[in-house]
Amino acid sequence: MAAPAREAAAPAPAPAPVPAPAPVLDVERVRKDFPILSRTVHGRPLVYLDSAASAQCPRPVMRAVEDYCMQSHANVHRGVHLLSQEATAAYEGARDRVRRFLNARSTREILFVRGTTEAINLVAQSYARPRFGPGDEILITGLEHHANIVPWQMVRDQTGCSLAVAPIDRRGELPLNEFFKRLTPRTRLVAVAHVSNALGTILPVEEIVSAAHARGIPVLIDGAQAVSHRAVDVRALDCDFYAFSGHKLYGPTGIGVLYGREALLAEMPPWQGGGDMILTVTFERTTYNELPWKFEAGTPNMSGAVGLAAAIDYVEGLGLDAIGAHEQRLLEEATAELQRIAGLTIIGTAAHKASVISFTLEGIHPHDLGTILDSEGVAVRTGHHCAMPVMEFFGVPATARASFACYNTREEVHRLSAALHRAREVFR
């Protein structure tokens, strides 16, 4: 992710600041950890530029899941036998790994869910629905993924509250004055993306949180597109909820995390009922379990949690700074290369972007582009990216989107632009 430009010159008497060495990623070594990258697609080496949809899994993640399944699997929190104890230790150990990853105060604030979508639905149904009513407002932005729109529309329809949208500008940035204007005495919750999946825009979440908190409004951050690019510290951000998915962080599918401030989670009723989320049950009444288990009804996704913890070990082993710097170099290179292609328009030109480039090519529908790129072995996402309002704002039915991850190379950027030239030839 782009860091703000720093002032280089220090006053003369002060010792010259020692520039931190630029973190370097050994990409060829990284690639060896991802077996899928060595396969071919339509007879050509795979160029996987769709990590914003789902990142590939490195061997250490697969191995962690396999070890769990081969050695320690049993149900958690239920048995006195050894395997159940090991499974519980693995699952709760994964929770603590996530807590350290996010720098949360306590594992009571870390809920395992299926993914970002489920995390946001949990907050919508368990935090917003019981509290909000007519006259209350939930504030989102114009660049949200459907997962940060639809759950709030459901709450709106259930409670009579309303949904306000802070607009974005033509670069795909969120003008803060427009956003602040919409923080009113009616606003009860702010829910924003950390990074836009369709445009790559990095939102100024620190400013958003402090402005909202100054008015006593809690903030949920959809971090699905952020956690794989930069370190996230929920205490530094001071957000109230933070959601992300394992599979966008090189982990397994079907596992994700909701961080919630303990004081808020404690007040919230359970979302789903069932086993594991209770202390005692009679036919007359039930007492609920403590945090975090109050929100984890049923047998959880233990192998997924173990895989997610391994994925966190993996990215922190590489260094999120090194990953982010590598991706920024690819983003700059790809942006420069794509801009040289006649008729190509980049959708989303914010000053601070994650390694995502959405684009259109004049005269060629994104769907056709996707097929032609695929025939060249280049996997990009085409379509509306689950962000139809963003497409509508830019007046396009769809875009093609290339996203870059820790394992992508400059060579692959060239393969992308070569494939785009090929598309031009096909449609000449």
Judged by CB under 8 A, does residue 338 bind another protein? no
CB atoms within 10 A of CB 290: 10
Binding test (CB under 8 A) with another protein, winner from 2, 27, 176, 388 = 388
Pick the closest to residue 373 from 418, 327, 411 (CA basis). Answer: 418
Binding test (CB under 8 A) with another protein, winner from 42, 177, 283, 285 = 42
In the bound state with another protein, the residue whose beta carbon lies nearer, of 288 and 427, is 427
Task: State in angstroms the smallest separation of the CB of 146 from another protein.
Answer: 11
Judged by CB under 8 A, does residue 364 bind another protein? yes
Binding test (CB under 8 A) with another protein, winner from 276, 368, 379, 414 = 368
Stretch that binds another protein, among 79-87, 98-106, 225-233, 383-391 (CB under 8 A): 383-391
Binding test (CB under 8 A) with another protein, winner from 230, 384, 401, 415 = 384
Pick the closest to residue 339 from 416, 411, 229, 426 (CA basis). Answer: 416
Task: State in angstroms the smallest separation of the CB of 375 from another protein.
Answer: 5
Is residue 215 helix, strand or coil? coil
Distance CA 199, CA 353 (A): 8
Spell out where 80-133 has E strands.
110-113
Binding test (CB under 8 A) with another protein, winner from 153, 159, 375, 409 = 375
CA 166: distance to chain centroid? 20
Site string for another protein, 396-415 (x = CB under 8 A): -xx-----------------
Task: State in angstroms the smallest separation of the CB of 371 from another protein.
Answer: 6
Distance CA 259, CA 362 (A): 42
Pick the closest to residue 401 from 53, 45, 168, 42 (CA basis). Answer: 53
In the bound state with another protein, the residue whose beta carbon lies nearer, of 95 and 424, is 424
Judged by CB under 8 A, does residue 54 bind another protein? no
Query: Applying CB under 8 A, what is the total number of residues that bind another protein?
Result: 19
250-266: buried (b, 16+ CB within 10 Å) or exposed (e) per residue?
A: bbbbbbbbbbbbeeebe
Of 57, 161, 239, 386, the active-site residue reads 386
Distance CA 303, CA 28 (A): 28
Judged by CB under 8 A, does residue 367 bind another protein? yes
Q: Tokens in use for 148?
A: 């940060």
Stretch that binds another protein, among 101-109, 313-321, 358-366, 404-412 (CB under 8 A): 358-366
Stretch that binds another protein, among 304-312, 314-322, 349-357, 367-375 (CB under 8 A): 367-375
Judged by CB under 8 A, does residue 382 bind another protein? yes
Task: State in angstroms the smallest separation of the CB of 143 from another protein.
Answer: 17
Residues 315, 250: contact at Cβ < 8 Å? yes
Judged by CB under 8 A, does residue 171 bind another protein? no
- Strand pairing category for 40-41 and 44-45: antiparallel
Binding test (CB under 8 A) with another protein, winner from 306, 383, 404, 424 = 383
Distance CA 7, CA 83 (A): 56
Pick the closest to residue 300 from 261, 270, 274 (CA basis). Answer: 274
Angle at 205 between CA 202 and CA 208, to 5 degrees: 135
Stretch that binds another protein, among 47-55, 195-203, 310-318, 379-387 (CB under 8 A): 379-387
Binding test (CB under 8 A) with another protein, winner from 160, 371, 411, 418 = 371
Residues 382, 49: contact at Cβ < 8 Å? no
Distance CA 224, CA 208 (A): 18
Name beta bridge partners: 164: 139
CB atoms within 10 A of CB 269: 13
386 is an active site residue: yes
Task: State in angstroms the smallest separation of the CB of 344 from another protein.
Answer: 17
In the bound state with another protein, the residue whose beta carbon lies nearer, of 268 and 387, is 387
Pick the closest to residue 224 from 127, 128, 145, 157 (CA basis). Answer: 145
Site string for another protein, 274-303 (x = CB under 8 A): ------------------------------
In the bound state with another protein, the residue whose beta carbon lies nearer, of 304 and 370, is 370
CB atoms within 10 A of CB 21: 6
Judged by CB under 8 A, does residue 386 bind another protein? no
Catalytic residue positions, numbered: 386
Footprint on this chain of another protein (rule: CB under 8 A)? 42, 364-368, 370-372, 375, 382-384, 388, 391, 397-398, 426-427
